[in-house]
Amino acid sequence: MEHTAGSSFASNPIYFDPENSIILTIEGGCNAVASTMDGLAMLSRKYAHKIHFMSKINHNELLT
C-alpha cells in the first residue's frame, strides 16, 4: 500500500498520519508499505520487523 496525500485521503484525514497507514496495511494483509523516507524513519523501530518498507523518492503529485 502506498501512503500518499490529499488526493487519496481527503475524505479520511486520519490516514494523513503514516502510522495509521502502516496499521491499515498490516491489518489488510498487505506485504509492504510505501511512504516518504521521513514517514518510514519515524516508525521504523516500531514496525520494520512487521512489514516491508519501500521508500518513495518523491511524491507523485510533485512529479511532472
What nine digits make up the cell of 14? 486520519
pLDDT in tens, 5-55: 556 667 777 777 888 889 989 999 999 998 888 888 999 999 989 999 988
Is the model more confident about 62 or about 15?
Answer: 15
Which residue, 21, 62, 59, 12, is CA-closest to 40? 21
Instruction: Name the one residue in this structure whose C-alpha cell is 508499505.
Output: 33
Q: What is the pLDDT of residue 60?
A: 58
Q: What is the pLDDT of residue 31?
A: 93
The pLDDT-based confidence of 63 (bands split at 50, 70, 90) is low
Tell me the C-alpha to C-alpha distance, in Å, between residue 38 and each of 22, 27, 28.
Answer: 14, 22, 23
